[in-house]
């Protein structure tokens, strides 16, 4: 299952520096001027998960395959992007293709790094970007409504769709994002969201980019962004994109020593990747064999047949049962055979809801 997160923000807030670190390579150009990134870049990033490493130590497979998240680095948006300013329409289109948004905000002062507005004000910067995203959704929805109105004479079923769409349009025109609209759980809205891929319907992760000093103590900028995220029930992470870039290429000992020198225990990238994964409502289950130990990505709440489809659609179609071992039971007993002997391997049917970390063997017949 391909999961994608778009990295957005004003120019020169650290998006491309962050992307360089995410990809472990310098393939997103960083420069001290606006619009240095003119094409979206994509990085397929493994989700950090110590559980799969422990399973691999026990099984000793030929290969290990982690869950992944696709990060899309989208060029800096500016005020007027929804009207095409700064190649805005092209980049807004790229955002529509993602499933969530990582909103990078500059939270440090540095006269040597140009800010497009010539001052640092994270809440203002957030408002600029979010206003442009709302305006882009207004345009998309307005176009859809006009199209439906032209066809309603020949298709009376469009009446309720137009009525619901106009309610949402009014909500947007008041400056509110789609994800705060209280009537999204209807069949009409569900269809509209799939068709239009509304930008402001997506989950947002606010990412405060700080300098080295900001890592150890939250400055006023960070506190404001964090408070906004809390108010909106959104995810929040704090990173130093520059420091993350410097971590690229270090071996394990150097890497841990570098983190210790800044008084942090975990890379900001690990936090971003994990937060992005879970913000999309995803979990992982594992398959463990001598050929491969692998994490499979599913939606939290998926039942066993649906989870099996992550491996192959035939597994869902011909599902018979699932042999399930809880992760902790697997680690404690040390092998599938030992788990079977200990009676902790369970046989589950079609109604079983897969748990995060389950180690599963599916039986199917097609």
Going by the annotation, the residues of the binding site are: 12-17
Q: How many CB atoms lie within 10 A of CB 30?
A: 18
Two tokens, residue 292: 């491969």
From 15, 34, 140, 135, select the one nearest 80 (Cα to Cα). 135
- Cβ atoms of residues 266 and 259 within 8 Å: yes
- Cβ atoms of residues 233 and 279 within 8 Å: no
Q: How many CB atoms lie within 10 A of CB 254?
A: 11
Q: How many CB atoms lie within 10 A of CB 123?
A: 13
From 111, 132, 120, select the one nearest 32 (Cα to Cα). 111
Q: Distance between CA 168 and CA 141 in Å, rounded? A: 8
Instruction: Convert 209-240 to b/e letters by CB count within 10 Å (16 or more is b).
Output: bbbeebbeebeebbebbbebbeeeebbbbbbb
Two tokens, residue 332: 């404690």
Q: Distance between CA 25 and CA 19 in Å, rounded? A: 9
The three-state secondary structure class of 321 is strand
Q: How far apart are the first and last CA of the chain?
A: 22
Known binding residues for ATP are 12-17
Place of tokens 């209807």: 186
Contacts of 132 (CB under 8 A, 6+ apart): 77, 79, 80, 81, 82, 88, 92
């Amino acid at each position: 299952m391909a999961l994608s997160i778009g990295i957005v923000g004003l120019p020169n807030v650290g998006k491309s520096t962050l992307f360089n670190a995410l990809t472990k390579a310098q393939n997103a150009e960083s420069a001290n001027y606006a619009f240095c990134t003119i094409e979206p870049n994509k990085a397929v990033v493994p989700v950090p998960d110590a559980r799969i490493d422990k399973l691999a130590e026990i099984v000793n497979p030929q290969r290990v395959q982690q869950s992944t998240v696709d990060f899309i680095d989208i060029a800096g948006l500016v005020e007027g992007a929804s009207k095409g300013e700064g190649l805005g329409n092209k980049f807004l289109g790229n955002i529509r293709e993602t499933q969530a948004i990582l909103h990078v905000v500059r939270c440090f002062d540095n006269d040597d790094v140009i800010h497009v507005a010539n001052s640092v004000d994270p809440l203002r910067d957030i408002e600029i970007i979010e206003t442009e995203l709302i305006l882009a959704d207004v345009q998309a929805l307005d176009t859809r409504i006009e199209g439906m109105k032209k066809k309603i004479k020949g298709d009376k079923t469009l009446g309720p769709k137009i009525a619901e769409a106009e309610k949402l349009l009014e909500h947007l025109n008041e400056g509110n994002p789609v994800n705060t609209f209280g009537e999204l759980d209807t069949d009409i809205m569900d269809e509209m969201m799939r068709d239009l891929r509304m930008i402001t319907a997506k989950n947002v992760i606010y990412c405060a980019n700080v300098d080295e000093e900001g890592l150890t103590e939250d400055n006023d900028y960070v506190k404001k962004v964090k408070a906004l995220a809390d108010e909106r029930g959104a995810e929040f992470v704090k990173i130093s994109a520059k420091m993350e870039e410097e971590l690229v290429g270090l071996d394990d000992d150097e890497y841990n020593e570098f983190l210790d020198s800044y008084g942090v225990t975990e890379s900001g990238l690990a936090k971003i990747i994990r937060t992005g994964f879970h913000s999309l409502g995803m979990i992982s289950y594992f398959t463990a064999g001598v050929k491969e130990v692998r994490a499979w990505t599913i939606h939290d709440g998926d039942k066993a047949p649906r989870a099996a489809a992550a491996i192959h659609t035939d597994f869902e179609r011909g599902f018979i049962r699932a042999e399930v071992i809880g992760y902790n039971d697997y680690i404690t007993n040390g092998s599938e055979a030992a788990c079977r002997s200990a009676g902790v391997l369970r046989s589950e049917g079609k109604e079983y809801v897969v748990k995060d970390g389950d180690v599963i063997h599916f039986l199917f017949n097609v």
